[in-house]
Amino acid sequence: MTSADESGAARRAEAISAWGPEDQKGAMNLLTPAHTLAALQGVREGRIVDLSHELKMGHPCIPFAQVPFFMSLALHADDTRRLAKQGGHTNDFGCFTERAELCMHSGTHIDALGHFTIGEEMYNGWSYRDSVNARGLERLGIEQMPPLVGRAVLLDVASIDGGEHLEGGRVITSEELKRARDRAGVEIAPGDTVLIRTGYGRYFQADPQRYIRSEPGIDVEAARWLTEQKIAVIGTDTMAVEVLPNPDPKLMLPVHQHTLVEAGVHLIENLALDGIAREGAGAFCFILLAVKFTGATGCPVRPVAIL
């Protein structure tokens, strides 16, 4: 083994997850059957609150990083009716199908653990040079994320500056998250999903350009405090969870690097959290199922709260 190989092996050993060298679930390992059962037992009314935005043409997207969502009809009922009649069918059959082009990070979506690296290193110490091919991720794709049925805690920080929402570029600190937790009267437990409401989601459809220009969000210190609580997932009503632009112009998305690569915590972005905030629910049963696009770095999702 060469010295370079030995150095790489040493780094891999140091980065190996607590769940073993082959783990691809990350902090979702903390979402145990007991945690899921407790969340389901907490349902009292059976009411469902949708926490996602509609995915449609014109939604916010980052020009250099995301392909705009585009959808068009691939098959029209007129064509199928004609073909059905030509085939001798008598029930006047018609149907529509469509084709779509989109980035997997479109609309309300979740990031796979393989979405980010620190240098060449991915979650669990793998090198991206051994884990990615031209068609996607060979490891840590979104298909590796188990179904999420568990407890979520809502930390509503939208009004901490005295208004209805935080402004773009506003850093949310760990102390502010703790105060939001205390106001909600909840504790954060291992395996929980933590959802942070900034109020900035109001611009997702109303002003897409403002929405992507900047955003309020957590910094690395706040992210570390959250992952120290042994949570499974973090979600926000913003494009990137973390503050943008970063106060340090030398840093590019360091919260993503910590959560996805170092802590194995998935991120949900572009949530619609105003409805659940109006319910006054500090904690609730939360369900999110990621579509198993093999090798994808994320996928659109439709998370719901059940009260």
Average pLDDT, the chain: 93
Which residue in this structure is represented by tokens 């093999």?
Answer: 294
71-128 pLDDT, tens digit per residue, is 898 989 888 899 988 988 888 888 988 999 999 999 999 999 999 999 999 999 999 9
Cα 89 to chain center, whole Å? Answer: 46
Q: How far apart (Å, rounded) are the C-alpha atoms in residues 74 and 84? A: 17
DSSP 254: H
Q: Give the residue-averaged pLDDT of 271-290.
A: 97
Residue 145: what pLDDT?
A: 98
Residue 8: what pLDDT?
A: 54
pTM, full prediction: 0.93
145-194 pLDDT, tens digit per residue, is 999 999 999 999 999 999 999 999 999 999 999 999 999 999 999 999 99
pLDDT of 10 higher than 70: no
Residue 197: what pLDDT?
A: 98
Residue 122: helix, strand or coil by DSSP? Answer: coil
Q: What are phi and psi of 218, to 5 degrees?
A: -75, 155
Question: Cβ distance 287 to 148 under 8 Å?
Answer: yes
Q: Give the residue-averaged pLDDT of 187-215.
A: 96
Burial class of residue 210, CB neighbours in 10 A (0-12, 13-18, 19+): middle
Contacts of 300 (CB under 8 A, 6+ apart): 55, 102, 104, 106, 107, 108, 109, 291
